[in-house]
Structure 1
Amino acid sequence: MAASDTIENMYDVALKPRLLRSLLKEYVPDLKHQFRNPSVLSYVVSAIKTHQLLSESAPPESDEKLIENWTAAVDSWINRVVGLASSDTPDKCWAGICLLGVTSQECSRERFIASYAAWFNKLLVHLQSPADSHFVKVATCASLSDLFTRLSGLPNAKKDGIALSTKLIQPLLKQLNEDKFDASWEEAIFLLCSILDIFPSSIQRHYDGVEDAIVLRLMSGKCNPSMLKKLGYCLALLPKSRGDEDSWVLMMQKIMLSINIQLNDAFQGLEKETIRTEAMRLLLPPGKDPPPPLGGQSLSRGTVDNTMRPEHLQISRISTLILCCCELLTSSYPFQVAIHVLPLIALAKRVLMVDGSSSPSIAYMTTMKQEFFCSELPVLHSHILDLLTSIVKGLGSQLLPHVGSIIRLLTNYIETSTLPELRIKVYAIMKVLLLSLGVGIATHLTDVIVNNSLMDLDERGTSSVAQQNIHPETTTKTSHKKRKHASTSSSLDEQPDKDVFEVEVSPNMASLSVKIAALEALEALLAVKCF
C-alpha cells in the first residue's frame, strides 16, 4: 500500500503515523510552551493503546515509504517524551514520565530492547532525587513498574533485569522509611511488589531492611485498607528473594507469633488463660528458641498513629498479618516447604471461639471496649475463615492428618454463627474440603451440612415473627434451634396479616446468598457420595 494523503478506514496502517503526529501536535506538551491541560493525557494514552500507534507493526505488503514515515513518527514521539521526562518544570516532567511508562508497554519489541536501559536511567534519576515532587515520584514508580513488567517478558533479559532492579532497592527503602506518608509511598510498595514478583533475587542483599520497612508501616496504623493489603502481600512475597524452605518457614513462624502477641492484647477479658497458653505451646514448643521478632525492631511511639483507637489498631494489624499467612499458603514458591498446620489451626480456633462475651473469672473489661470488639469481631472472624480456606486449598491431601480438627472447629462455629457472610464462608470451606478430600470426609460432614442447610433453606426462616404468625403450631417445634433469624417484630406487630406474607416472599439478598452457599455445599456432598 502506498503512503498517501487519503485514509481508507480506521484499520488503515497509514492512519497510525498521522494520528501519532496529530497527538504530538495537539495534546502532548513541548519544552517551549506552557502545559495547560494535564487531563488530556488520558485521551492520548487511550488513543495510543486503542490504535497501537507505537507498535510499528505493518503488514508485509506495506509500502516502504509508509513504514519509514511511521518509524519517523515514533522517533519524534520518543524524543518528545524523553525530553519532557528531563524537564525542570514539574508538570511537564510528570507528563513525560507517565508517557514513558506507556511507551514501555506499547512500543515494538525491537525498540524496547534497544532503549530500556536508557529509559531506566532516566527514571532512576527521579527516584533518587530528593528535590522532585511527590507526584513526579508517583509517576516514576508507576513507569518503572511498567518497564519491568515488559522486561520480564523478554527471554534473555533476566540477568539485566536483576542488575537494574537491584539499583532501585536503596532509593525505595529511603522513600519507605520517610515519616511523610503520601501517594508516592503507595506506588513505591507497588513497585517493590513487582520486583519481588518478577526479579525476587535482586532484593536478597536488602532482605532485612525491606522487612523492617514493611512491618514498620504495617504496624503504624497510618495506612488505609488498600495500602495494608499491599503491605501484607509484599511481606508474603519477601521469602521468594531468598528462595529456600527455611526463609518461608521462618517468615510464617514470625507472622504467627506476631498475630498471637496482638491477640493477647486484644482478647484480654474475652478468653480463658488456658486457651492462650495452648496456642503459645503449639506456636513455640517448650525448649525451642523464639525467632527474631517480625520486622526486627520494636515500634517507637513516634511511628504509631496516636489518633487511632488502640483496639482498632490491633484489629487492623491482626487482619493484615492474617492476610500475609493466606498469601504465604496460596502463592507459588520455588521450593517445597513443610507447613506447620497445628499452630495455624490453633490461631483460628482462638479467634473463632471469642464471641465478645466477657468471662466472669477474668479481669474486668469496660463496656465501651466490649462494645467495640463485638462490632469488630465479624471482620476478624471473616479473615480467620479466609485463613482456613487458604489452609485447605494450599495443603490439599496433605491436610488429612489435621482435617478432624478443622471439621470440629467448623461444626462448632456454624452452630452458633448467624451472620450471613460468615455462614457463607463456612459452607465454602466445607465444599472445598469435600471436593479436595473426597468421600472419606463426606461421612464426617454429612450431618452438619444437611442440618444447617435445611435450616437455611427453610422458606419460613426468613423471619421468626413471620413464622409464628403464619404457622403458630410450629413455634414450639423450632424454638430449640440455635441459629436466630432476623426479627422484624416491631414492624410486623403493627401491620395486618397481609403484610406478614409480604415479608415472607421477599427474602433479602443476604439470606438468598446463604441459601445458594448451602445448596452448593449440598451439591458437593451429593456429588462426592454418588461418585
Structure 2
Amino acid sequence: MAAFDLIQNLYDISLKPRLLHSLIKEHIPDDKHPFRRPLELSHVVSMVKTHRLLSESATESTDQKLIDKWKSAVDAWVNRLLMLVSSNTPDKCWAGICLLGLTCQECGSERFLASYSVWFQKLLSHIQPPADAHFVKVASCASISDLFARLGGFPNVKKDGTSHAAKLIQPVLKLLNEDCSDAVWEGAVCLLCTIITFFPSSIHRHYNSVEAAIVSKIMSGKCSVNMLKKLSHCLALLPKSRGDADSWSLMMQKILLSIHVHLNDAFQGLEEGTVSNEAMRVLVPPGKDPPPPLGGQKTLGNASDQAAKRPERLLMSSVSTLMLCCCTMLTSSYPVQVTVPVRPVLTLAGRVLMVDGSVSQALFPFMTAMQQEFICSELPVLHSCSLELLASILKGVRSQLLPHLADIGRLLTEYFRKCAMPELRIKVYSIIRILLMAMGAGVGVYLIQEVINNTFTDLDSIGYESVGTPFSAYSNVSTEALLQSSQKKRKRVNATGSLEKQPDRVGLKVEMPKNQTPKSVKIAALEALEALLTVVGAFRSESWRSNIDHLLITVATNAFKGGWAREEKNIFLSSEPNPGLADFQLAALRALLASLLSPARVRPPYLAQGLELFHRGMQETGTKLAEFCAHALLALEVLVHPRALPLIDFPSANYKSDDGIKSRFPENIYSTGQKTEHPIF
C-alpha cells in the first residue's frame, strides 16, 4: 500500500480491508509469535463491530476490485482464526475460538452458510476431550451458542441445524455432570438454552436426561446464585422442546409438587399439619395419580428423605430456584395454549407467605431455637419468591384470574398488614398496581381501604413536615369514618383568593415523623396510589378522595423543597436500580397528575398548586422531570381552559347549503342557552 494512497472518507469501502489486514497483522497472534495481551481482543472486537469489517456488504455500484480485496481480507481473517483454533497452545486456541464466535455473528450470510458446518466441527472438538483447559471449554460453548443463534435465523437449513445440535447434547450433559467450575456449567447451560430455543426437536431423544441433569445440579448445593438462576431458566424452557400442552402442564405440576415436598421439611413446626395436607389435596386431587418426581427420582417419599438429610440452606435455595422456574414458565411464550394451574400456584404462594417464623405452643417440641433462627433468616427470600410467583401469574393469566380474585385479595390484604421489610412492601405494591390496572374497578373497590392505609403509613414521614399533621391519623379509620370526616369541611382562602375545602384537622397534635421510609418504598406507594386513582378515582370518592388529594399535593410540594434533582449516574455504583431523589420527584408528580385528572364530583382543589409545580418543572430542560411536566401541562389544559366543543362541525348561522336552505343552528350552542358576555378563561 502506497504511503499516500488515501481513502475518500470514513465510509469508503477500501477502508475495511485495510483495517482488517492491520488487525490481523498487529493484534492477532500466529503460529510463530506468542499471544501477548489478551486485552487486545476487546479492541479487535470493537473495531470489527463498529466498522462491520466482516459483513462484505456493498452496493451494486461498488468497484468489483474493491469487493475482491475485501473478500480476500476476510478470507485471511478466517484462515488465521482456524489456525488458532487448531493450536496446541491454550491461550492461542482460546483467542481463536472467541474470535470465531464473533465471526459467526458478524460475517455475511453467504459466507456463514458456506462455512458454518466446518466451523462447528472445529468448535465441537474442544468441548469433548477432557484435557482442554476450562476457559477453552467455556469459550467453545459460547461460540457454538453464537453459531446456533445465527443458524436459527435461516429456515432453509433447519434440518441440518437440528442434526448438528443433536450431536451436542451428550457432550453438554457430560460437562454438566462433571465436577467442573461454575463457568463451565454456565456455558453448558447457556448452550442448552440456545439449542432448545432455536432447534427444540434435537432434544426429543434426550428430554429425560436433560431434565435429570438440570434438577440434579439444582439440588446439589454446589452452584452459585447466578448459576441457579440460569438452571431454573433452562428447566423452564425444556417443555418447549416438545411443544405440546401436556409437557408444559406436567413440568409445572412436577415443580409445584417438588416445592411442596421441600416445604414440608422446612416448615415442620412452623405451621399446622393440616396446612400441608390441604395443599397436597390441591396439588393432587383425590382419585388422581401424582406425576413422576421431578428429575426422575424414585418416589416422593425418597425425595423427602433425601431433603431431610441435607442442610436447611440447600432446601431453601432449591425452593427459591424452583419458584423462579415457575415464574419463567408463567411469563414466557409457548407454542400452544396451556392451562395454568392457578389454584395450586396460589396455594403454595399463600402457604409460604403465611409463615412468619412464629411457633405455636403445640408445636414447640418440633422446633429448636437454632432451626427457628435459620428459618427466619431465610424467610424474606422465600416471601420474595412467593410474591414474584403471584406477580407472574397475574401477568401470565390475566382475565382467567377472575374466579380467584377474592382469594388473591384476601392473601394480599392479610400479608400486607404484617409485612414490614421494604423490599417485600415494594413487591406487594407492585402486585396491587398490576391487579388494579389489569382487573379494573372490580378489584379496585376491594383494595381501596388497604391501599389507603398502607400508603398513608409509608408516606407519613414526608407527608406532614410542613403542615404538622400525621397522615396516619387518617389511615387507621374505616371507610365510614372517612366518609364522616370528609363531610366536616372548613374553608380557607388560598394565596390566589379562591376558597378551598380542607379536611378538618382541629385537635391533632404536632408530631415529628417517627419513620424514615426508604425512597424506593415511597415510590412504590405513590405508583400504587396513581393506579388506584386511575382505576377507581371516582368511586365513592367522597369518603377518601379529599385526604388522598391533600396527601399527594403535600408530598409533591415537600419533595421539591430542596430544589429539583439532577439526574446523575455513578459508574462506580452497582448496576442494581437505586432510586434517587429524581425518581421520587417524578413518582410524586405522576401521582399528583393522576389526582388532578381523576374524575371527581368537584373541581380539583389543588389545581393551582399543581400547575405551579409543573410549570417550574418544565424549566428543568433536558431531564425526565421536564418531559413529564410538559406532558402534564398538556393533559391539564382541558381543566385550565374547558371547552364545550361539538363532536361534529356544525355549519355557521350564516352558512347556506347547496340547496339554498339556511342553517338554523344558533350562534350560541352552550347547553345553558344563555349568552355569555365574556369568554371563559
Q: Is the 8 A contact 2:54 2:107 kept in 1?
A: yes
Residue 105 (structure 1) aligns with? 105
RMSD between aligned residues: 3.0
Change over 3 Å in CA distance of 1:32–1:445 after alignment to 2: same
Residue 173 (structure 1) aligns with? 173
CA distance in 2, matches of 1:233, 1:146: 18
Deviations 1:359-410 (A, max 9, x none): 2111342222212221221111011000000111110101101111111000
Instruction: State the Cα distance separating 1:522 from its structure 2 match.
Output: 1.8
Residue 525 (structure 1) aligns with? 532
AA at the equivalent of 2:524: A
Residue 222 (structure 1) aligns with? 222
Residue 449 (structure 2) aligns with? 447
CA distance in 2, matches of 1:305, 1:36: 50
SS in 2 for 1:57: coil
What does 1:219-298 align with in structure 2 at a 5 Å threshold? 219-297=219-297
What does 1:87-102 align with in structure 2 at a 5 Å threshold? 87-102=87-102
Residue 496 (structure 1) aligns with? none
CA distance in 1, matches of 2:150, 2:19: 25
Deviations 1:247-303 (A, max 9, x none): 1111001000100111111111111111111111111122321111100026999xx
Residue 212 of structure 1 pairs with residue 185 of structure 2: no
AA at the equivalent of 2:112: F
SS in 1 for 2:294: coil
What does 1:130-145 align with in structure 2 at a 5 Å threshold? 130-145=130-145
CA distance in 1, matches of 2:162, 2:424: 43
AA at the equivalent of 2:455: S
Residue 5 (structure 2) aligns with? 5
Deviations 1:121-152 (A, max 9, x none): 11112222222221111111000011111111
Residue 384 of structure 1 pairs with residue 391 of structure 2: no
AA at the equivalent of 1:227: M
Instruction: State the Cα distance separating 1:166 from its structure 2 match.
Output: 1.1
- Residue number among 370, 373, 391 corresponding to 1:371 in the alignment: 373
Greater length-normalized contact order (CA 8 Å, ≥ 6 residues apart)? 1
Residue 459 (structure 1) aligns with? 461
Which one is further off, 254-263 or 6-15? Answer: 6-15
Deviating runs (4+, > 6 A) in structure 1? 298-301, 473-481
Which structure carries more helix by proportion? 1
Residue 408 of structure 1 pairs with residue 410 of structure 2: yes
What does 1:32-71 align with in structure 2 at a 5 Å threshold? 32-71=32-71
Instruction: State the Cα distance separating 1:36 from its structure 2 match.
Output: 2.5
SS in 1 for 2:116: helix
CA distance in 1, matches of 2:344, 2:369: 31
Residue 349 (structure 2) aligns with? 348
Which one is further off, 58-67 or 210-219? Answer: 58-67
AA at the equivalent of 1:210: V
Residue 24 (structure 1) aligns with? 24
Q: Is the 8 A contact 2:327 2:388 kept in 1?
A: yes
Q: Is the 8 A contact 2:440 2:535 kept in 1?
A: yes
Residue 194 (structure 1) aligns with? 194
CA distance in 1, matches of 2:9, 2:256: 61
AA at the equivalent of 1:60: E
Instruction: State the Cα distance separating 1:512 from its structure 2 match.
Output: 2.0
- Residue number among 517, 521, 526 corresponding to 1:514 in the alignment: 521
CA distance in 2, matches of 1:205, 1:237: 16
Instruction: State the Cα distance separating 1:460 from its structure 2 match.
Output: 5.9
Residue 423 of structure 1 pairs with residue 425 of structure 2: yes
Q: Is the 8 A contact 1:220 1:305 kept in 2?
A: no
CA distance in 1, matches of 2:286, 2:344: 14
CA distance in 2, matches of 1:253, 1:361: 32
Deviations 1:408-467 (A, max 9, x none): 0000010111111111111111111111111221221111112222222223689xxx99
SS in 1 for 2:415: helix
CA distance in 2, matches of 1:4, 1:359: 88
CA distance in 2, matches of 1:93, 1:253: 45
Residue 326 (structure 2) aligns with? 325
Q: Which runs of 5+ in 2 are unaligned?
A: 478-509, 539-598, 600-681
Q: Is the 8 A contact 1:455 1:461 kept in 2?
A: no
Residue 484 (structure 1) aligns with? none
CA distance in 2, matches of 1:4, 1:320: 62
CA distance in 1, matches of 2:231, 2:379: 22
Q: Is the 8 A contact 1:222 1:305 kept in 2?
A: no
AA at the equivalent of 2:128: Q
TM-score relative to the length of structure 2: 0.69
* Higher CA-based Rg: 2
Deviations 1:312-370 (A, max 9, x none): 11111110000010011111111111111111111011100011112211134222221
Instruction: State the Cα distance separating 1:58 from its structure 2 match.
Output: 2.6
Instruction: State the Cα distance separating 1:11 from its structure 2 match.
Output: 2.8
Change over 3 Å in CA distance of 1:26–1:477 after alignment to 2: closer
Deviations 1:456-483 (A, max 9, x none): 2223689xxx99xx97x979969979xx
Change over 3 Å in CA distance of 1:283–1:6 after alignment to 2: same
Q: Is the 8 A contact 2:266 2:312 kept in 1?
A: yes
Say how many residue pairs are matched: 500
Instruction: State the Cα distance separating 1:159 from its structure 2 match.
Output: 1.9
Q: Which runs of 5+ in 1 are unaligned?
A: 482-500
What does 1:499-510 align with in structure 2 at a 5 Å threshold? none
Instruction: State the Cα distance separating 1:49 from its structure 2 match.
Output: 0.9
Instruction: State the Cα distance separating 1:203 from its structure 2 match.
Output: 0.5
Instruction: State the Cα distance separating 1:32 from its structure 2 match.
Output: 2.2
Change over 3 Å in CA distance of 1:278–1:246 after alignment to 2: same
CA distance in 1, matches of 2:325, 2:146: 25
Change over 3 Å in CA distance of 1:4–1:66 after alignment to 2: farther
CA distance in 2, matches of 1:4, 1:441: 75
Q: Is the 8 A contact 1:221 1:305 kept in 2?
A: no
AA at the equivalent of 1:357: S
CA distance in 2, matches of 1:229, 1:73: 42
AA at the equivalent of 1:368: M
SS in 1 for 2:295: coil
TM-score relative to the length of structure 1: 0.88
CA distance in 2, matches of 1:479, 1:198: 53
Residue 677 (structure 2) aligns with? none
CA distance in 2, matches of 1:39, 1:314: 41
Which one is further off, 280-289 or 71-80? Answer: 280-289
Q: Is the 8 A contact 1:279 1:347 kept in 2?
A: yes
CA distance in 2, matches of 1:127, 1:460: 59
Change over 3 Å in CA distance of 1:305–1:66 after alignment to 2: farther
Instruction: State the Cα distance separating 1:504 from its structure 2 match.
Output: 5.1
SS in 1 for 2:126: helix
SS in 2 for 1:361: helix
Residue 398 of structure 1 pairs with residue 400 of structure 2: yes
- Percent of aligned pairs sharing the same letter: 61
